[in-house]
Structure 1
Amino acid sequence: MGALAILAAHICGLEEQLLSNEVRTNPAAVSLLIADDYTEFGSSGRVYKKEDQVGEGGAGEVRMTLSHFELRTLSEEAVLATYRTFNEDTGIHCLRSSIWKFRDGRWQMFFHQGTPVKGK
């Protein structure tokens, strides 16, 4: 397995952690995974900052599955992750993109965007 494939598996695992309710409802766990200067353009059209994700209750519970994960290198310390999610509660499919930066010895999400799409 090449270096990019290993990194892709790692970043995909971090994305999956951010979809797990165990992590999402733990503000300290979410705080480790997202950067202090984090911005999200949510699939709802709302804009979120880190403080919106790490308050009481964390980022909130979801039931989503991740598929079609791809990773592109932007620089030695930044990558772009793209994938699809399916929200099992709403039935909504979304295209997702995240920029991860390597800081202080770990990868953290710097930017995220969700865009609803029709069908699969």
Structure 2
Amino acid sequence: MSNKIKADLLQQLIELERQLLEPSVRQSSEMLAHLLSDDFYEISANGLIFNKAHVMSRLPDEKVPQFYNQAFNGRMLSEGLAQLSYQAAYRRSVKCQLNYSVRMSLWRLEQQSWRLVFHQGTPCGEFILHLDD
């Protein structure tokens, strides 16, 4: 099997990834439940591990940070399992400094819907933001 991802699937996964940053999605338990796989887990940039239940209890009440993401790459790990990596910068408010990270997500096809099964953010050095990306 080739690990090349089709352009339309890459675009779809980028859109799904970006939906998870939308306040309306983050504040909706129903939408989060649909986007996150039941066995989802995340390793945060500070090394903490969160499962779906923790994310579902935390995100709806969290103040949404200001996020930028760019330089997306994708590949197929197997049929129905895709890896998405990208650069991200975020800050808690406009007065805060940006935090830079490299992100990786694994998306799995479950009952004809792509669901996030794993996400990790690793701090990295500053990079140039391309706000039109």
Provide TM-score, normalisation by structure 1. 0.91
Aligned to 2:66: 63
Runs of at least 4 residues of structure 1 off by over 3 A? none
CA distance in 2, matches of 1:94, 1:13: 19
Q: Equivalent residues in 2 for 1:30-109 (5 A)?
A: 30-55=32-57, 57-58=59-60, 60=62, 61-89=64-92, 90-109=97-116
Decide which structure has the larger Cα Rg and report it. Answer: 2
TM value normalised by structure 2:
0.83
Aligned length: 118
- Counterpart AA for 2:26: R
2:9 aligns to what? 7
48-57 or 33-42: bigger deviation? 48-57
**Aligned counterparts of 2:126 and 2:74: Cα–Cα separation in 1:** 23
Task: Note the C-alpha offset of 1:88.
Answer: 3.4
Percent identity over the alignment?
A: 26
Q: Distance in 1 between matches of 2:30 and 2:104?
A: 23
Q: Deviations over 1:65-110 (max 9, x none)?
A: 1101111011111000000111033410110000000001100000
* Unmatched tracts of structure 1, length 5 or more: none
Question: Unpaired runs of 5+ in structure 2?
Answer: 128-133
- Between the aligned partners of 2:38 and 2:116, the Cα distance in structure 1 is 9
Q: Which amino acid aligns with 1:117?
A: C
